[in-house]
Amino acid sequence: MTGHIATVAGVAVDTRHWIGGRRVASAATFTDVSPIDGSVLAEIARGTAVEADAAVAAAKAAFPAWAATSREERARLLHAIADGVEKRLEDLAIVETHDNGALLRSHRRGVMPRVAHNFRFFADWLLDLGHDDFETRGHTNHVSWDPAGPCVLITPWNAPLMLATWKVAPALAAGNTVVLKPAEWSPLTASLLADIAAAAGLPDGVLNVVQGLGAEIGDALTSHNDVRRISFTGSVPTAARIAASAAPALTPLSLELGGKSPLLVFADADLDLAVDLAVEQYDNAGQVCLAATRLLVEESVAEEFTRRFVAKASGIRQGDPRDEATGIGPNIHERQVAKIDGFVQRALASGARAVLGGGPNAELGGLYYRPTLLTDVAQDSEIVQEEVFGPVLTLQTFTNEDEAVALANDTRFGLAATVATGDRERAERVTARLVAGTVWVNCFFVRDLQAPFGGSRQSGVGREGGTWSFDFYCDLKNTVTAPTGWAGRG
């Protein structure tokens, strides 16, 4: 590392904030460590209320001109950013793999192309955004989406750039300015995004990136009176603190939070498909909010399902995420690994049985946790009720449809659910009764940006995606015009 530039596998990353179109240093820094091998990647500018105020001020100053920019020009610039992402796709993939430990092949083939798609989708959706005028007793109603103002976007570490741009793209498309605060465990690609946006010609102050610890900079952002929208993805406790911070100013919130999603496997399902879906829940070392970590399997096929699952999951290669052959990499941080193992060891001490895994990978050391499946777990146990956010699944059985639905809905969460069945009518009955923002039937993780996304219960507040994103990032206005009176005074 030289000065404010960190070199990550040959890619230069500026470690300072991006505020008002220029790089800004802080008096202090925090250390960013790679989960792959524990090596220090960078010393990152550690923002405080000072940098938070500066970023919000820059966003506020840039807002009037950006809000007045035509839809066509905003869309053009979003496409230009997407072009920049595609040109630097390899750099982004390499840096993010080193920063959060997710598979390099996934970043190359799926995640970073999705980052570019986020910008293109919302640019195109903006140009078609509208509502047909309608009449009320001869009066014309016209609905419009007006830019709201500066937005604070707080993003997680498990898919840093993809989830950041899921928020940044619609916020910018809507005509808002943005202050992006990435997670302190994986901040590097947010800094690269600032470079890409600037190179694309985005005006100064329209996108700002501030880094730091949530406890030191977060409240200054979320309590700021000049902020008009806050979008957060993360944990329930942090969301509660953000909501309390935003309450005095009545700042609207969009919260995408945790999950404890079920995978319901009925006896009439294609068991090979069901096993594939279940093993897929280990994706990203289990660090996926949507993951169906509770396997609910009909009793008559549970033994065969478990046998096939263990056989398939045992074949997953764990190791360096930069290796094309690796199927599961490390977890993000030593604190996260300790949390995961704490859940598992307490479950085992309470009578659960590990039919797969059950602890860290002793051969690899570091932050590598073995894919784990626990059986003999009680419905009211911690391991069934609380989000682990690691490669840990539980398996329970049911005897009929009603019991399956009751078990599936018996948590405080409601983010997603997956159903495996060969009976279309059963699928319709069961999905209608499940409490979840997204339900997949005989598939998993198929997401279209035009669909609403969010959670029920403590899995979140609000929906984003397609027009729902613009509904959140805008002030909706209805203008009612009388049919007469245009002649004025005689």
289 assigned to active site: yes
Per residue in 332-374, pLDDT (tens digit) is 999 999 999 999 999 999 999 999 999 999 999 999 999 999 9
145: its two tokens:
């989406």
| Calculated CA dihedral for residues 113, 117, 120, 121, nearest 10 degrees | 170
Letter for the amino acid at 363? E
What is the band of 276 on the pLDDT scale with cuts at 50, 70, 90?
Answer: very high
Q: Of the residues 51, 96, 256, 387, which is catalytic?
A: 256
| 485 has pLDDT over 90 | no
Give the pLDDT confidence score for residue 215 in this predicted structure.
87
151: its two tokens:
């937005």
256 assigned to active site: yes
59: its two tokens:
């966003």
Q: Of the residues 51, 151, 184, 289, which is catalytic?
A: 289
Give the pLDDT confidence score for residue 21 in this predicted structure.
97
> Could you tell me the CA-to-CA distances from 61 to 54, 65, 77, 195 in Å, in that order?
10, 8, 19, 20
Cα gap 313→372, rounded to integer Å: 9
Per residue in 84-128, pLDDT (tens digit) is 999 999 999 999 999 999 999 999 999 999 999 999 999 999 999
What is the band of 290 on the pLDDT scale with cuts at 50, 70, 90?
Answer: very high
- Per the document, the length of the chain is 490
What superfamily would CATH give domain 5-257+455-478?
Answer: Aldehyde Dehydrogenase; Chain A, domain 1 (3.40.605.10)
Per residue in 367-412, pLDDT (tens digit) is 999 999 999 999 999 999 999 999 999 999 999 999 999 999 999 9
**In DSSP terms, which residues pair with 135 in a beta bridge?**
140
Cα gap 298→267, rounded to integer Å: 6
Per residue in 172-185, pLDDT (tens digit) is 999 999 999 999 99
The alpha carbon dihedral of 216, 217, 218, 223 has a sign of positive
- The mean pLDDT of 467-485, rounded to a whole number, is 93
Give the pLDDT confidence score for residue 224 in this predicted structure.
96
Give the pLDDT confidence score for residue 30 in this predicted structure.
96
Letter for the amino acid at 284? N
Cα gap 91→271, rounded to integer Å: 40
Q: What are phi and psi of 256, to 5 degrees?
A: -110, 110
Per residue in 218-237, pLDDT (tens digit) is 999 999 999 999 999 999 99
Give the pLDDT confidence score for residue 2 in this predicted structure.
64
| Sequence ranges of the domains in the chain | 5-257+455-478, 262-441
Please tell me whether residue 246 adopts helix, strand or coil conformation: helix
Residue 136's CB is within 10 A of a number of other CB atoms, namely 8
Which residue from 95, 70, 92, 121 is spatially nearest to 9, judged by alpha carbons?
A: 95
Mean pLDDT of the chain: 96
- What DSSP designation does 245 have? H
Domain 262-441 coded CATH 3.30.1360.30: no
Cα gap 8→20, rounded to integer Å: 25
Cα gap 381→358, rounded to integer Å: 17
Longest dimension (CA), the chain: 91
- What DSSP designation does 45 have? E
